[in-house]
Amino acid sequence: MKEAEPGLHRDPTKDRLSLAEALVAENSPADLARTTLGWLSRAAGLEHGLCAVVERCRHRLCGLCGHGLDDEEVSAYEIDLDEDDPLAMVLDGESPVFVDEATLQTLPASEVPRGMGPFWAVPLGTGGTPMVGLLLAAGDAIDAAELRWASDLLGIKLAAEATHELRRESDRLERELQRLEASLEAVPDPVLVTDDQENILLMNPPAERLFDSDEHNDNAGGRRIRSNRAVLSSFLGKLQAQGTGRYTDRLGFLEPSGGEELTVQATAGQVTSERGDEAAVVTILHDLGEAMEKALLYDKFKRHSEELEARCQEATAELAEQNEMLRRKTLEAEEASAMKSQFLANVSHELRTPLNVILYYSTLLRDGVYGDLEEAPRDKLEKVTSNAQHLAELISEILDFSRIEAGKLQIVPEDVDLRELVEEVVAELEVLVDNSDVDVGVQVSPALPTLHTDRGKVKQVLVNLLSNALKFTPEGSVRMEATMPDPGRVAIAVEDTGVGIPQEQQRTVFEPFGRSGSAAGASDTGSGLGLSICKRLAESLGGSLELDSTVGEGSTFTLRIPARVADDR
Amino acid sequence: MTAAAIQDSRYLVLVVDDVPDARESCADFLSARGFSVVTAADGREAVALASELHPDVVLMDLRMPVMDGLEATRRLKEDRQTSQIPVIAITAHAVESAPKEALEAGCSEVLIKPCMPDELEKAVRRSLPDGAEQPTA
């Protein structure tokens, strides 16, 4: 190898300036190289020249631009640089090397552009940084100094361009990485990228939680993370062993902070580089735990629901039992009530026969059948008779009441002419009416149809109401009026101008023995059962008994019954 | 005997009751009111007496030993000799159906004990043929 001799016919300074200016103006590496080669051909005696650059990320030298060579030759120039390759050694150094004829023969054919004789191989680059390419320059009288100068300039410019390019690339990568990280962070499942040594290159926060030992300094947490890493490592090992580039398995990890078991569906895929060798493994851990948690929640919910249902059934059963008990008690109570009523009926029955004897004989004695009596005994006998009669009425009412209470009341409906019935009622009370000072009036609306009801019961009520009215009305009038205020319903009102019933007693008057005791005349007649019997009779006929009364003005009792009652009762 | 008693003694009343005091008081009362009275202590005796004496009316207690009032009434109604005699049932029965049964057996009327003396007399008179219904003076 020898130093090139400088050219003689030019002004080197002026030439160099022109190259520098040209290179400043150019930006693309190919243009830089073309300009430089052109300048060298003029200024340094270059006959054949080729500028090749080291391609990024590859240990490869590629033709960029040529001089005195056809374009095909330039673009075909591609050399893989082994470490002991002569040109590689030139690149590793900093100085130009002259490849003479003998050396040329030792080079692989591919490293020598076709038609090029011995040449200068000049590394392109700057001191301290990797060379960006080689300049191959051939010429019989090449000016080594110019060559060296131009190469340095081109090298600096190319390196600067490469740096720019690298920075742009780096920025782009940075942005891509950020985008990737943002995407990964948005994934709720742990995602991590590992290299072929199973080192973690990248992971999202959920993955960090499981595998990042910086997060847990305490022993337990660290131990769990080591355990997790071991599980992951074993999983990745299986991926490698399978060789299909993809592997799925169910894995159990430990939550570092709490130690809870996390079951995940792990899926790993190998990401290969452009050159086909494995660059990284992406692993996604789908958290089945959440699903399991949901399943757990569902189980819990179901259990609670079942418990609730069981309790509900229990409560229902209890309720049913209580209902049954209540029903039994009601039956018992009804039975007891019926027994009580039966007892009352029996008692009143047993009282009747002797009472009849008393009634007959007191009447006969009073009538003087067994001899005339003095006024005093006659008077007393009168009291015995009237009280015996009162007692008889009382017993009758008790029997009626006990029958009603025992539910033994039978409704026997028949066609009833109300006018006839009312007249009969008045006739029955003839004695009372005759002995009274009040004016008794009866009015039956001609529009009334023939009723279909229990004649005896209606009569019983009316007799009771009318006799009450007569008893409690010292003077004035008593009126009985039958009307039909609503279709299908009959109202029979018994109105008197008697003593009246105080407001507070108007409700209790229908209760057994609830009649006003303070009302004038109340103490000497009636059992106190009459009105409550009437009310029950009215209800048994599907009707009602109402009271409207003002003390000192009088009372009106109104029996309201349907014109027709059903036969089946 | 009062004037009324003489007046109505042409009517014979058969009083049937198993309770002696009840039977006797009823008979005494009707006698005092002017009726002729015979008594029987049970249904069988009543049927025998009625066939023999043909009373104008029978006051029949319903609940009696040997033969009850319902059966006795049915017997009387079955016999053409006695079927025309009105039978008034007197019952102290606490049973609701008693009056209905009595009417079905052939009774013309049912009185519920304790019946007021005046009511009894009225009922008897109602059962008698014409002219007996006016009350005693």
Span of A12-26, A136-150, A527-541 with lowest mean pLDDT: A12-26
Split at pLDDT 50, 70, 90, the class of B47 is: very high
Distance CA B10, CA B57 (A): 12
Residue A197 has pLDDT above 70, yes or no: yes
Q: Which of B2, B28, B97 lies at the smallest CB-CB distance from A360?
A: B28
pLDDT the model gives residue A93: 79
Mean per-residue pLDDT, A221-228: 86
Whose CA is closest to A393, among B81, B119, B130? B119
Q: A254 to each of A190, A214, A264, how far by Cα in Å?
A: 13, 16, 11
pLDDT the model gives residue B46: 92
The nearest alpha carbon in chain B to A412 belongs to B100
Q: Chain B partners of A395 at a C-beta cutoff of 8 Å? A: 114
Residue A346's H or E segment, with its range, is helix A288-366
pLDDT the model gives residue A406: 66
Residue A28 has pLDDT above 50, yes or no: yes
Q: Which residue did the predictor score with more confidence, A389 or B44? A: B44
Mean per-residue pLDDT, A154-164: 81
Cβ distance B116 to A392 less than 8 Å, yes or no, reads yes
Split at pLDDT 50, 70, 90, the class of A98 is: confident
The nearest alpha carbon in chain A to B100 belongs to A412
The nearest alpha carbon in chain B to A367 belongs to B32
Q: Chain A partners of B116 at a C-beta cutoff of 8 Å? A: 359, 389, 392
Q: Which of A346, A355, A364 lies at the smallest CB-CB distance from B114?
A: A355
DSSP line for A21-35 = HHHHH--SHHHHHHH
pLDDT the model gives residue A491: 92
Distance CA B20, CA B39 (A): 10
Q: Is A263 exposed, middle or buried (0-12, 13-18, 19+ CB in 10 A)?
A: middle
pLDDT tens, position by position, B77-87: 998 888 889 99
Q: Which residues pair with A456 in a beta bridge?
A: none
Split at pLDDT 50, 70, 90, the class of B45 is: very high
Split at pLDDT 50, 70, 90, the class of B14 is: very high
Split at pLDDT 50, 70, 90, the class of A527 is: low
Cβ distance A396 to B114 less than 8 Å, yes or no, reads yes
Whose CA is closest to A495, among A473, A528, A510? A473
Q: Chain A partners of B92 at a C-beta cutoff of 8 Å? A: 349, 352-353
How many percent of chain A have pLDDT more than 90? 4
- Contact criterion met (CB below 8 Å) for A41 and A47: yes
In this predicted complex, what is the ipTM? 0.78
Cβ distance B114 to A367 less than 8 Å, yes or no, reads no
To 5 degrees, how large is the angle CA A275–CA A279–CA A282?
A: 135
Residues 6 or more apart in contact with residue A496 via CB below 8 angstroms: A438, A469, A470, A472, A473, A476, A477, A478, A479, A554, A555, A556
Split at pLDDT 50, 70, 90, the class of A569 is: very low
- Contact criterion met (CB below 8 Å) for A515 and A497: no
The nearest alpha carbon in chain A to B96 belongs to A408
Cβ distance B21 to A342 less than 8 Å, yes or no, reads no
The nearest alpha carbon in chain A to B115 belongs to A356
- Contact criterion met (CB below 8 Å) for B39 and B61: no
C-alpha torsion sign, points A395, A401, A405, A406: positive
The whole-chain average pLDDT of chain A stands at: 81
Q: Chain A partners of B29 at a C-beta cutoff of 8 Å? A: 360-361, 363-364
Mean per-residue pLDDT, B29-53: 91
How many percent of chain A have pLDDT more than 70? 90
Q: What is the CA radius of gyration of chain A?
A: 65
Split at pLDDT 50, 70, 90, the class of A492 is: very high
Cβ atoms within 10 Å, residue A563:
18
Residues 6 or more apart in contact with residue A543 via CB below 8 angstroms: A489, A559, A560, A561, A562
The nearest alpha carbon in chain A to B27 belongs to A360
Residues 6 or more apart in contact with residue A400 via CB below 8 angstroms: A460, A529, A533
pLDDT the model gives residue A524: 44
pTM: 0.43
Q: Roughly what angle, to the nearest 10 degrees, separates helices B20-32 and A288-366? A: 50
Mean per-residue pLDDT, A267-289: 77
CA of A512 vs chain B CAs: smallest distance (Å):
20
How many percent of chain B have pLDDT more than 70? 85
Q: Which of B2, B92, B96 lies at the smallest CB-CB distance from A353?
A: B92
Cβ distance A354 to B32 less than 8 Å, yes or no, reads no
Split at pLDDT 50, 70, 90, the class of A281 is: confident
Q: Which of A348, A351, A360, A382 is best to mutate for the B interface (most B CBs within 10 A)?
A: A360
pLDDT the model gives residue B1: 41
Residue A8 has pLDDT above 50, yes or no: no
Split at pLDDT 50, 70, 90, the class of A558 is: very high
Contact of B116 with chain A, judged by CB distance below 8 Å, is answered with yes
Cβ distance A360 to B93 less than 8 Å, yes or no, reads no
CA of A531 vs chain B CAs: smallest distance (Å):
21
CA of A388 vs chain B CAs: smallest distance (Å):
9
The nearest alpha carbon in chain B to A401 belongs to B94
